[in-house]
Amino acid sequence: MSIKHWPASERPREKLLQQGSQRLSDAELLALVFGSGSRGKDAISLGRELLRNAGGLRALLASRPSWPAVTGLGPAKQARLLACLELARRALGEELQQRTALTNPTDSGQFLRARLGDLPYEVFACLYLDNRHRVLAFEELFRGTIDGASVYPREVVRACLGHNANAVIFAHNHPSGHAEPSEADRHVTARLKQALDLVGVRVLDHLIIGDGTPTSMASLGLL
């Protein structure tokens, strides 16, 4: 039976409008994003199957490179899902930029986790701040394994000067989910801090994004 023939209280759209989005399951929310199911499968069943096969919502989002091979998840549904993700990230970005100042790792951690937490590859990024620690911009600087060969202090200094930043917060993700700083993370952070000290830009923190709460190197006394 098609979803449109279900009782109104069980249809995802009507349920959301009457009871609120928080009352919908992950599969029901995916069904609303997709708009339709696939051959012989309604949108909710498709959502459930995708979540079950991937191992959950976060794993589904992280498996983005393999989406084209997923039966029932065609280009239109992929585009809708990616658009929803980007809207959520931009909303978090606007909230972050409207803050008067960033005063602790929690202020920026939620935004950075939303931007980097579900990526299947490592990204090194930077939040540029003014002299009152208000956000000027966010930028992904490097992709690939974060080590001494892939993060270039000269490029980071150039980017900071280009944004006229007085301070920065670095962040990179660990696709493995482990958010503990590695020896390479510590070495790169020390090199960047030394380079930026020469041009008067403070390194406030370096956040490691994995599963759960991001790890703050500043809070661990590693800066």
Q: Are 126 and 161 in contact (CB under 8 A)?
A: no
What's the confidence (pLDDT) of residue 196?
97
Domain ranges of the chain: 3-88, 99-216
The segments of the chain whose pLDDT lies below 50 read 148-149
What's the confidence (pLDDT) of residue 148?
44
What's the confidence (pLDDT) of residue 149?
46
d(CA 201, CA 192): 10
- Locate all alpha helices (DSSP H) within the chain, ordered by sequence: 12-19, 26-34, 43-54, 57-62, 75-98, 105-116, 153-162, 183-197
What's the confidence (pLDDT) of residue 146?
61
The pTM of this model reads 0.66
pLDDT digits (tens, 9 = 90+) for 154-207: 999 999 999 999 999 999 998 888 888 989 899 999 999 999 999 999 999 999
What's the confidence (pLDDT) of residue 154?
93
Q: Which fold has domain 99-216?
A: Cytidine Deaminase; domain 2 (3.40.140)
